[in-house]
Chains A and B, each alone.
Chain A
Amino acid sequence: AQSVSQHNHHVILSEAASLELGCNYSYGGTVNLFWYVQYPGQHLQLLLKYFSGDPLVKGIKGFEAEFIKSKFSFNLRKPSVQWSDTAEYFCAASDSWGKLQFGAGTQVVVTP
Chain B
Amino acid sequence: DTEVTQTPKHLVMGMTNKKSLKCEQHMGHRAMYWYKQKAKKPPELMFVYSYEKLSINESVPSRFSPECPNSSLLNLHLHALQPEDSALYLCASSPQDREGSPLHFGNGTRLTVT
Contact = CB atoms under 8 A, between A and B. Distances in A.
B103 to A, nearest CB: 6
A83 to B, nearest CB: 21
Contact of B106 (A43, A51, A103): A43
Interface in A56-80: none
Contacts of A96: 99
B106 A32 contact: no
B74 interface: no
A105 B41 contact: yes
Contacts of A34: 102
Nearest to A44: B105
A44 B48 contact: no
Contacts, number: 62
A25 interface: no
Contacts of B100: 32, 49, 51-52, 94
Nearest to B44: A102
A98 interface: yes
A102 B42 contact: yes
Contact of B96 (A90, A97, A105): A97
Nearest to B33: A98
21 contacts: A30-B99, A43-B2, A43-B105, A43-B106, A43-B108, A44-B43, A45-B2, A46-B102, A46-B103, A46-B104, A49-B100, A90-B42, A94-B100, A96-B99, A97-B99, A98-B48, A98-B56, A99-B56, A100-B45, A102-B42, A102-B44
Interface of A: 30, 32, 34, 36, 42-46, 49, 51-52, 90, 94, 96-105
